[in-house]
């Protein structure tokens, strides 16, 4: 992976795709599941579960089935998702079934009569790539935090040592730290306020340089 790929990946991440990206999200994004899911009425699934919905304009409201709800805080939206504003849970029809029947993703698909559909070799490759990219981004973000801590510590130590230089012998011994401090300060600036591309160049230099 090079700088260009990683920045594209990071951009992708920002766009929100990866914020929910796990195997389920990847599966949900799969065309066959998406189409079948869209064909299901969330309202009828929720009502079928015994939740009493009341129509309110284009929305439906109910007492939330997931907490002791006195006033209706559970909403079903026309775009096919639901949300409880009190317990802050929500999602699509699959998430509702998973939570209501306390089952896993595969069981929810079965309950809804959604056929999982086989991923083609090409789709599997895409999923693999997306997962790999996501792991890379996670590693990178972790490195960013760790590196900033580490470099800040180095700067503090170097400043302390340099501040105590009193003799020529000291300078002989520790003078190189001036150069080190400059470099670390520069790295710290990048880590604190640089863009992802600059950070990634530093990451590359540190790990693959």
Nearer to Zn ion, 87 or 148 (CB): 87
SS3 120: coil
Q: By CB under 5 A, tell whether 87 contacts Zn ion.
A: yes
Q: Are 105 and 24 a contacting pair, CB within 8 Å? A: yes
Q: Is 67 in the site for Zn ion (CB under 5 A)?
A: yes
User: In the complex with Zn ion, which residue's Cβ is closer, 74 or 184?
Assistant: 74
86 belongs to the binding site for Zn ion (CB under 5 A): yes
Q: Of 156, 138, 157, 135, nearest to 146 (Cα)?
A: 138
Using CB under 5 A, which of the segments 82-90, 118-126, 161-169, 188-196 binds Zn ion?
82-90
Q: Does 51 bind Zn ion (CB under 5 A)?
A: no
Give the nearer residue to Zn ion in terms of CB position, either 82 or 200: 82
Measured CA angle at 10 (ends 14, 15), to 5 deg: 25
Cross-strand bridge partners of residue 84:
74, 89
Q: Are 206 and 139 in contact (CB under 8 A)?
A: no
CB of 71 to Zn ion, least distance (A): 11
Tokens of 5: 């790929």
Q: Does the protein bind Zn ion through residue 66 (CB under 5 A)?
A: yes
Binding stretches for Zn ion (CB under 5 A)? 64, 66-67, 84, 86-87
């Amino acid at each position: 992976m090079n700088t260009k790929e990683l920045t594209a990946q990071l951009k992708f991440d920002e766009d929100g795709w990866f914020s929910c990206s796990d195997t389920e999200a990847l599966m949900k994004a799969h065309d066959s599941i998406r189409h079948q899911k869209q064909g299901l009425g969330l309202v009828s699934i929720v009502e079928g579960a015994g939740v009493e919905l009341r129509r309110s304009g284009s929305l439906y409201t109910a007492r939330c089935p997931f907490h002791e709800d006195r006033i209706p805080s559970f909403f079903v939206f026309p775009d096919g998702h639901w949300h409880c504003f009190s317990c802050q849970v929500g999602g699509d029809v699959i998430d509702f079934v998973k939570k209501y029947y306390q089952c896993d993703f595969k069981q929810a698909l079965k309950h809804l009569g959604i056929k999982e559909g086989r991923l083609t070799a090409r789709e599997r490759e895409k999923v693999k790539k997306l997962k790999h990219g996501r792991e890379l981004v996670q590693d990178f973000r972790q490195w960013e935090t760790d590196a900033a801590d580490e470099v800040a510590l180095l700067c503090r130590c170097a400043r302390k040592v340099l501040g105590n230089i009193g003799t020529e012998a000291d300078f002989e011994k520790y003078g190189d730290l001036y150069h080190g401090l400059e470099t670390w300060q520069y790295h710290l600036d990048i880590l604190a306020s640089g863009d992802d591309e600059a950070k990634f160049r530093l990451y590359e230099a540190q790990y693959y340089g």
